[in-house]
């Protein structure tokens, strides 16, 4: 089964996607992650939206794949001078299964425009031992 989430995030904010259950026997895996600027006619944007397994204290544009809590990144940039600065979209996400809430952050390096997101999560049934391991990994933010 696929669960979808979509919304509009403001620059330098964090959004919580509530996924945790009482028994933790439902896991999730990212299936699709896309972003689109709120105003695509805006002169310039450089959006970095990230998905984390743990809450973040700040919303940055730095991308560090050594951070085990980071499970997805979408980077979108464009400029109205398309012949010099073509639109660019990069999306990378981990195939990891998690069973706790996830946290999206947005940072626009070229202004304060908002950004839409679309996220598809595939539901995965977990047995008790898989649920325990996933919960501990999610809470610690470790591999």
Considering only residues 129 and 122, tell me which one the structure prediction assigns the higher pLDDT: 122
Q: Give the pLDDT confidence of 81-128 residue by residue, as tens digits.
A: 655 555 677 888 888 999 999 999 999 887 778 999 999 999 999 888
- To the question of pTM greater than 0.75 for the whole model, the response is yes
2-140 fold: Jelly Rolls (2.60.120)
Count of Cβ atoms closer than 10 Å to residue 127 Cβ: 8
Q: Give the pLDDT confidence of 36-83 residue by residue, as tens digits.
A: 888 877 667 788 999 999 999 999 889 999 999 999 999 888 776 655
Burial of 93 (C-beta count, 10 Å sphere; 0-12/13-18/19+):
middle
Distance CA 24, CA 30 (A): 17
**Domains of the chain: which residue ranges?**
2-140
């Amino acid at each position: 089964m696929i669960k979808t989430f979509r919304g509009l995030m403001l620059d330098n904010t964090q959004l919580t996607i509530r996924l945790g259950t009482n028994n933790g026997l439902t896991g999730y895996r990212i299936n699709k992650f896309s972003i689109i600027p709120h105003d695509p006619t805006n002169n310039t944007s450089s959006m970095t939206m990230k998905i984390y397994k743990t809450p973040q204290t700040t919303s940055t544009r730095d991308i560090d794949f050594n951070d085990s809590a980071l499970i997805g990144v979408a980077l979108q940039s464009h400029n109205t001078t398309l012949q010099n600065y073509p639109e660019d979209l990069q999306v990378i996400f981990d195939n990891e299964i998690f069973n706790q809430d996830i946290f999206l952050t947005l940072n626009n390096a070229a202004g304060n425009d908002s950004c839409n997101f679309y996220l598809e999560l595939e539901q995965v049934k977990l047995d008790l031992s898989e649920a325990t391991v996933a919960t501990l990994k999610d809470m610690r933010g470790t591999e």
